[in-house]
Structure 1
Amino acid sequence: MPDWTYHPLRPVTAAVVGRRRSQRAALRLLATLTSLPGGFRMDSAFAGRFGAPAEVAARLGASVPVAVARDAVRALPALGASVIEVRPVGPADVALIRRVAAGRRCTLVVGAAEPEVAAALAPHVDRIAGDDEPDLVRLSDPDVAGAAAALADPAVTVLATSALLVAAGPGWFQRVTEATAPPTEMKALPIEMTTPPVEVKAPTTEATAPAGPSGRASGIVVDPRRWPAWWWGMLVGLGMIVAGLGAAVITLGPLLAWYDNEYLGAGRGQLEAVNPRLVHFVQHDRISLAGALIAIGVLYAGLAWGGIRRGWTWARYAYLASGAVGFPTLFYFVSSGFVDVLHAAATVTLFPMFVLAVRHRPGPPRWTVRPEGPEFVRRRALVGQLLMILVGAGMLVGGVTISVVGLSSVFVTTDLAFLGTDTHHLQAANPRLVPFIAHDRAGFGGALMSAAAAIVLLSAWGWRRGESWVWWSLALAAVTGFAPAVVVHMFIGYTSFEHLVPVYLGIALTAVALTLAHPYLNRPRR
């Protein structure tokens, strides 16, 4: 359970089932998920644990009572607790601790004051600790800077008490880990001389005097094979933006490209003759798609510049997940039978760049540690983070729905009401018209899914104090994605509230989310 669910939902769950019961339920749920196949890695990913320094992570953990030992030993290592101390342990707890120790993923320390308890558990745990161990620092204050200062001593292990974890939330381990990570400077881009110095002489003719002293010309060419991954990521983002703008220009101009006319055997005039609103309907699909492509480009550029460039593994995973969803949508033509030549050309051009952007893990992460600032600012930002993730999840559901509709029935009820016709009439007018529209609809659904994946993962993993690029990436993507869709619907008169309510809801939630997160994500002015 990450901070963006723990803190915003904690008051609600506490009011429904009680404070202590809700805390135990949250820990039990996390322990259960971690115990499932692949659950440990999934929980670690949700917690944003990528590239944590092993030396520091091995000395960070929690001190818990016996009552929650079983769940804590299963759940907390996925959040970054490499050491779990259970105390105080009495004779009645020996059997439980033995069961807890089996199959653990952490260093297990037991606080046992009685010699017989220590002797019974010593073969099963990693360490028996007393009350005053100089290398074990137990903290109750959630201040990240204090924990980082304690970890500066390589002989010290820092243990968060239950009170600290309840107050700070499960993301405390990752925040401390990042605060202790030393900054890593970016390496300079390797540049090689590919053109050796040559002597350049002016030609001598009867009309010209001999050349003066010879000059030297040298060329410096950067080998693209040695470009850093984030360069390729930026190029893919720029390419997506150009593709979106190109689609918008064609849609607002001739509407149909040459291959559209060839496939349909008709032009814009014939479409208007079939149905006076058909041209506007095609425009609204394609402008919405163009906005989604531009939004994806903005998100890719942000992930490349703000994340991959700084060695953040999570940014590469977010980029990879979005592209893995988006690029295969080219093959929607198998269902519709219509091949969009420009879509295919853009995919063939951008996909190799995409592979170059994500094929290698980024270098060592470059952390920027900033003061924690007021806690209430972070808590409000966590609400915004949850809302932003919900927006992305809603877009993902919407994209899947639109793709399924586009590849099956093609139209929804409000579409046919706007057109004032039915599918059979359109098929009778031109047998290729419905597959043509189906391709546009399904393609928009695929683009929406790709953007949604980037939004969800950027919001889940990139929410850090002072990372203004995250805020601007999401804000610009929202403007370029939502605005064209709303404007084109209003322009053509397709204003059905039932049809547009998901868009209105997405705009409202995004505005609230970014407003709440603005003081946290954007660096304060000095």
Structure 2
Amino acid sequence: MPDWSYQTIFRPILFRLPARISRAFTLGAMGAIGRIPGGSFVIRTLGHMELSPLLERNIGGVDVVAPVGLSGGVDPCGIAHRALAQFGIGWIEHGPITLAPIESNEPIMNDYRSERIRYPSYFENDGADAIAKRIQRPGHKLPQFVRIAPMPEVSPEEALEQLRSLMRKLEASGAEGFYLDIASSAVRSWHDVLAIYSQLPELAERWQITVPLFLYVPLDMNDERMLELLGRAEFNLWSGIVIGESSRVGDDPSDIAVMTEAAARIALQKQSPVTGDYAVEVGRDGLKLAETKIRLIRQACGPDIAVKAGAGVHQPEDALQLLEAGANGIMLHSGLIYAGPGLPKRMNEAVIYEQASLAQAPEFPSFWRNWGWMCLLGIGMIIGGLLAWQIGATSVLLPYDTAFLGMTAAEIVGANRYLLYFMSHDRITLAGTMLSIGILYYGLARYGLRAGQHWARTALVTSASVGFSSFFLYLGYGYFDPLHALAAAVLLPLFLLSLRGHKDLPSRLPVNLRNSRTWRMAMWGQLCFVILGFALAAGGVIIAGVGITHVFVKTDLDYLCATPEALNAINPKLVSLIAHDRAGFGGALLCDALAILIIALWGISQGARWLWWTLLLGGAPGFYAGFSVHIRIGYTDFIHLLPAYIALILYIAGLILLYPYMMGAADSKSTG
């Protein structure tokens, strides 16, 4: 469920369902995909979530592959952790976890207009035993942290015993760190909270806890109390600090707007954190509170302590804001729900861009290193396409074609006046597709491969590998085309030379930072091109399959006013010649489609003007060739051309919707 499908199709539907049903459906579907063989590969392929080594870091003594983690509130039952682990995150949190399960059937409220979610029970969870089993069999290799809390309304002694039991059980199961959530829990007074903290260093040593411990600070905790905790002697116990993402809802459970300020005020009046279980809200309103707390922590504790936060992070710019304030890691919750599954990737790209922009720009490889050879291959395809178009629009048949048939073009026309037109239509559509391929290859090589972009190299290698293989489809009908063979012999070395010495480099182009209207429009444009890519690929496979089997479809025979038997009667080699053209066109269309599909899945980015022009110029000759030749020869059957009409609509709509995003200026960080 990448952003181009989530923002356009699934989010509008899911947000109309009750929140618990929507969450269960979404996580259940992702979990099912993650569990099937190859499911994780499908998720990574659709989202292109591969992580760069530039994202790796150590946070609080634990090595992570990315600075973005998943909050326990996103998937409290762990249904989809295997799938979510493919989203470009560096760790997964479970919690808050209490010793015994705490259930709630009250509705979750989703205020999608202001991007806030209200959970009726902060402590709702499956309990320690269920979480321990889940940690033992995670289905992924990411570090797992557990946010643990005492049960509601317990004494300090009971709280400490419960914490001991939780850590012993969960560490044995494989937890790699604990967030101790005591100040949020329902102990009876602030004095009790301090009493628990004061005993933790001695007890932790006695309990022989070997994994890092993190102090969990509620988002709406009064700043004076937070600083009091940070200044206590037991502070050396902590490997890091985690700032929560939720704030307590006010006394009126129907008032979703009563939030952070009221929660802090009520806590001060009662001289205790919270009494009993309670409703909380997560949403974009928490960003400023989180940033303030990060800065206070840095002032009080210096740069060495690890800090994780994530309240209100709904777009990459929010993550950069917290990282610049002093956070080492970002915890995602509500932002993943409102922005979509691609948010971790977008955040990672923003972090990589920040790092890459500070480093010295690498020197581009020389033309003859690798990318130049692919440019030449693209130019060769363009030249070949122009020659094929010229032949298809004039003589149609080449000397070796007439030699193979033992018939001249005039004799073919005499036998069936539509045959030569039909063969011209096959060859001109093939020529247009070759031009499209050549333009795409040149653009991808000149601007993508040269800059070390992994996705561009993947698009070129995948498409070209299929393209060269498809040159020999026509052999299935026993016809050897010397011109095709010569083209393959000339272009294949260029392809092989283009594979040398590649090194993936981080993009130095500015990245998208905001969930703007332009970005949301671009998701629709990307969806159009993804559908177009899949549709063209399916069309290429079908056309190639028909070309090496039945050769004709019903509308073809209707246009020709003939049957296969009648065509064989004209010349037994005629069908083989036509089949070779059809199979070749199907293979070329598949080759073209794969390049378009990978561009649509992985390459669409803000400010990528060159790519928008490449898509425009690359698609134009293919569509023009297809429609112009059908009109010229009078083969205008609506059913036959319907797939082409749909493809053209997707192509034009995609370009229009992507134009503001790809042709406009990239986002710049807010200075306000």
Match of 2:130 among 92, 96, 114: 96
Partners in 2 of 1:51 and 1:348 — Cα distance?
Answer: 37
Query: 1:11: Cα distance to partner?
Result: 4.2
Q: Report the secondary structure of 1:109's partner residue.
A: strand
1:200 maps to none
2:310 maps to 138
CA contact (8 A) 1:322 1:450 kept: yes
Partners in 2 of 1:406 and 1:519 — Cα distance?
Answer: 41
2:195 maps to none
2:112 maps to none
Q: Report the secondary structure of 1:88's partner residue.
A: strand
CA contact (8 A) 1:66 1:89 kept: no
Partners in 2 of 1:188 and 1:387 — Cα distance?
Answer: 33
Query: 1:426: Cα distance to partner?
Result: 1.4
CA contact (8 A) 2:529 2:654 kept: yes
CA 1:353–1:139: 2 relative to 1, 3 Å: farther
2:393 maps to 252
Q: Report the secondary structure of 2:417's partner residue.
A: coil
1:85-123 CA-to-partner distances (Å, cap 9, x unmatched) read 222111121122112212432111111123132332233
- Structure 1 runs not aligned, ≥5 long: 191-223
CA contact (8 A) 1:87 1:110 kept: yes
1:502 maps to 643
Q: Report the secondary structure of 1:291's partner residue.
A: helix
Match of 1:389 among 530, 538, 542: 530
- What TM-score do you get using the length of structure 2 for normalisation? 0.69
CA contact (8 A) 1:316 1:362 kept: no
Matched, 1:400 2:436: no
1:324 maps to 465
Query: 1:145: Cα distance to partner?
Result: 2.0
Partners in 2 of 1:391 and 1:303 — Cα distance?
Answer: 18
Query: 1:358: Cα distance to partner?
Result: 3.3
Size of the alignment, in residue pairs? Answer: 490
Q: Report the secondary structure of 1:170's partner residue.
A: coil
The percentage of counterpart residues that share the same residue type is: 33
1:176 maps to 347
CA 1:269–1:321: 2 relative to 1, 3 Å: same
Partners in 1 of 2:10 and 2:129 — Cα distance?
Answer: 33
Matched, 1:22 2:22: yes
Matched, 1:42 2:11: no
1:331-362 CA-to-partner distances (Å, cap 9, x unmatched) read 21321111111111111111222123235543
CA 1:40–1:231: 2 relative to 1, 3 Å: same
Match of 1:336 among 445, 455, 477: 477
CA contact (8 A) 2:128 2:166 kept: yes
1:292-348 CA-to-partner distances (Å, cap 9, x unmatched) read 111111111222123222211121111122122221112213211111111111111
- Structure 2 runs not aligned, ≥5 long: 58-64, 101-126, 151-162, 181-215, 218-240, 243-306, 668-672
Matched, 1:76 2:126: no
1:380-423 CA-to-partner distances (Å, cap 9, x unmatched) read 11111111111111111111111111111111111111111221
Partners in 1 of 2:441 and 2:148 — Cα distance?
Answer: 53
1:60 maps to 68
2:300 maps to none
Write the letter of the residue equivalent to 2:350: A
Partners in 2 of 1:34 and 1:356 — Cα distance?
Answer: 38
Matched, 1:442 2:583: yes
Query: 1:69: Cα distance to partner?
Result: 4.1
Query: 1:370: Cα distance to partner?
Result: 3.9
Matched, 1:159 2:193: no
Q: Which moves more between the two structures, 418-427 or 138-147?
A: 138-147
Q: Report the secondary structure of 1:512's partner residue.
A: helix
Matches within 5 A, 1:213-362: 227-358=368-499, 360-362=501-503
Query: 1:141: Cα distance to partner?
Result: 2.8
1:219 maps to none
CA 1:127–1:59: 2 relative to 1, 3 Å: same
Write the letter of the residue equivalent to 1:63: S
Q: Report the secondary structure of 1:254's partner residue.
A: coil
Matches within 5 A, 1:405-484: 405-484=546-625
CA 1:96–1:125: 2 relative to 1, 3 Å: same
Q: Report the secondary structure of 1:70's partner residue.
A: coil
Q: Indicate the structure (1 or 2) with the bigger Cα radius of gyration.
A: 2
CA contact (8 A) 2:389 2:428 kept: yes
Partners in 1 of 2:580 and 2:627 — Cα distance?
Answer: 21
CA contact (8 A) 2:372 2:498 kept: yes
Q: Report the secondary structure of 1:91's partner residue.
A: coil
Partners in 1 of 2:81 and 2:552 — Cα distance?
Answer: 52
CA contact (8 A) 2:428 2:625 kept: yes
CA contact (8 A) 2:27 2:75 kept: no
Matched, 1:186 2:220: no
CA 1:495–1:25: 2 relative to 1, 3 Å: same
Q: Report the secondary structure of 1:478's partner residue.
A: helix
Q: Report the secondary structure of 1:87's partner residue.
A: strand
